[in-house]
Amino acid sequence: MGRVKGSRMSDEAKAAMRAKRAANKLGKQSAFNLVATNLKLLEFEELENAIALALRYKKERVGEVELRLIKEKEEIEQKLMRLKDMDK
């Protein structure tokens, strides 16, 4: 369910979107709390493996975000060049 540009959302659609956002937020919070409380139960070797997995996942996420930002930067630079060309 998404918005279409130029159209107004019904009250039902607004309520559905609010509920979806709240569920996503609650799911992330509960997942973090679950991981944080269960870290105390791990043995040292298991904890080391969990840390290694977390660092690997963090590197992947940083790479994805960095790639997205580079693409956005290139798009902005292209738009700026078009505007400069229009001025000339």
Q: How far apart are the C-alpha atoms of 41 and 47, rounded to whole Å?
A: 9
Q: How far apart are the C-alpha atoms of 87 and 28, rounded to whole Å?
A: 48
> What does the pLDDT look like over 33-47, one tens digit per residue?
888 888 888 899 999
Please tell me the pTM assigned to this model.
0.55
Please list the alpha-helical segments (H only) found in the chain: 11-38, 44-87
- List, run by run, the mean pLDDT of 10-residue segments along the chain (88 residues): 67 82 81 84 91 94 96 95 87
Q: How many CB atoms lie within 10 A of CB 16?
A: 13
- With the CA atoms of 52, 53, 54 and 60 taken in that order, what torsion angle do they form, in degrees rounded to the nearest 10? 110
| Domain spans in the chain, listed from the N-terminal domain onward | 1-41, 43-88
